[in-house]
Amino acid sequence: MLRIHNVKVKLGKMDERKIVSQVLNVREKAIRNVQLSKQSIDARRQNVHWICSFDFEVDDEDAFIKTHPQVQKVKPYQYVYKQANDKKVVVVGSGPAGLFCAYTLACAGQDVTVIERGKKVEERVKDVDALMHEGILNPMSNIAFGEGGAGTFSDGKLTTGIKNHRLRYILETFVKHGAPKDILYASKPHIGTDYLRKVLIDMRHFMEEKGVCFMFETQMIDYSSKAQGYQVKVKKNQQIQTIDTDVLVLAIGHSARDTYELLYQKGLPMEAKAFAVGLRIEQSQEKINQIQYKKSAHSPYLKAAPYKLAVQTSEKRGVYTFCMCPGGYVVPSHHEAGTLCVNGMSYYSRNAKNANSAILVNVMPSDFESDHPLAGIAFQRQLEEKAFKLGGENYHAPVQLAMNYINGTNYPLGKIEPSYLPGYTLTDLNQLFPAFINRNLKEGLMLMNQKMPGFIDEDTLLTGVEARSSAPVRILRNEYLESSSQGIYPIGEGAGYAGGIMSAAVDGMVCAEMILREDKNGSC
């Protein structure tokens, strides 16, 4: 297989074989099996176009490369599974890290049990709907907890800043279980909450056929060491039972506050870490399309436009957009009664009227009221309790026009209707944060508007509070991903080692490989 990079393609002109033949100046008959391997949008100028890479085959690759030095050889990707051992593995949490740890182990033939406090996707959707439409919160089944983790009800972004060969395997696994094939070549792939739910169900059925035991609505409440391995105590429907295991994988997610407390009491080394808090900004998607795509804003070949911005304020605080959801919705992501936290969600089509994104300010452990490892959780909870009160104490979100927040004015809402359900309350978001966060958020918003003129206008909305962009805790581990207790593996976003679906899934796969390693020196 050969590959050619950086091919400029007009929107709507995707005849792969013809394009490659023209670029290389060869007959179409000379090439075969042409496939799009990478596609990105170049919107730097008025005439927006695609930049593509293509894979193809020819009869004599070596001779072809000599006459066409712009092409290179590529090998089809293949992930090699390690050999199973006789260890029993319990995975706590079914987010991306836990699932891909379990999936990798299952494909190797390992004995795996997955414990998940929330419900399976089919039932979890009903509880999320009850919160969004009736204001009824189920503390154990919501956008924070349940099959697939918090990412199940998000935009389903499959982008990451890490470079790792396992990323290809993860994308191929998603496609194998029903995801759109364009995630294999899109430069900014996303699966959408609707497809992700279907993929999770298919992955679960596949793993169950491999022998994986899933225990939903089951919470780990304690564990203890024994002669070999651990005894895990779990609770389901007020019934207590124990599970013996050789290996305990902690893929707990960034919202498992009671589990963090348990692990701290058990003596697992951990530390407070930096994270970020802020608001959700909501704009007209049509306006964002015009800014990003210019003359091509109404092209039928372009989906809703994304954006990504990062600035540094005069106080040297980083302010940045996070989890930008084109054509999406602002949704409730809290799980504790008397608190309110928001996130963003999009379907695969991204066809809603509004765009939304988190606007976050970095916070450091030095900003917290104590040096306790769990001080960041207390900081989050304080903000979420304030947001709940500002919203009216009925799970309505506090909302304000961006310009009112920045300038201290009080104009009524404009053309944009807040997408958050179950409802919203107009308020002064300055009451939500400590002064240093307000200062840096406001300065950051204005700097972003300078970088992307039109980013903020008279209709732009802000909704609070976004407090769970990442874990406020890091559970310490060694180079083999084990904690200070041998056989306990803290992984993923909840352990403080990932930041999104893809990096968490990679961490889960690496954990599986460590469990399957042949010796204690890390060889696999």
**pLDDT the model gives residue 518:** 66
How deeply is 361 buried, as exposed, middle or buried, from its count of CB atoms within 10 A (0-12, 13-18, 19+)? Answer: buried
pLDDT confidence of residue 32: 95
| Six token digits for residue 477 | 């581990």
Q: Compute the distance between CA of residue 5 and CA of residue 188 in angstroms, rounded to an integer.
A: 17
At 353 the pLDDT is 97
Query: Which are the contacts of 364, defined by CB distance < 8 A and separation ≥ 6?
Result: 274
Contact 312, 356 (CB under 8 A): no
Beta strand segments in 189-258, E: 213-215, 219-225, 230-236, 239-245, 247-250
- 54/36 Cα distance (integer angstroms): 5
| Predicted pLDDT at 216 | 98
Residue that has been written with the tokens 């970095």 in this structure: 362
What is the number of other CB atoms lying within 10 angstroms of the CB of residue 200?
25
CA angle 122, 105, 225 (to 5 degrees): 95
pLDDT tens sequence for the chain (524 residues): 999 999 999 999 999 999 999 999 999 999 999 999 999 999 988 889 999 999 999 999 999 999 999 999 998 889 998 999 999 999 999 999 999 999 999 999 999 999 999 999 999 999 999 999 999 999 999 999 999 999 999 999 999 999 999 999 999 999 999 999 999 999 999 999 999 999 999 999 999 999 999 999 999 999 999 988 999 999 999 999 999 999 999 999 999 999 999 999 999 999 999 999 999 999 999 999 999 999 999 999 999 999 999 999 999 999 999 999 999 999 999 999 999 999 999 999 999 999 999 999 999 999 999 999 999 999 999 999 999 999 999 999 999 999 999 999 999 999 999 999 999 999 999 999 999 999 999 999 999 999 999 999 999 999 999 999 999 999 999 999 999 999 999 999 999 999 999 999 999 999 999 999 865 443 33
Measured CA to CA, the distance from residue 403 to residue 393 in angstroms comes to 25
What pLDDT does 165 receive?
A: 95
Place of tokens 């917290």: 368
Q: Report pLDDT for 519.
A: 54
CA angle 399, 403, 407 (to 5 degrees): 110
Report yes or no: 321 and 307 within 8 Å, Cβ to Cβ: yes
Check residue 47 and give its pLDDT. Answer: 87
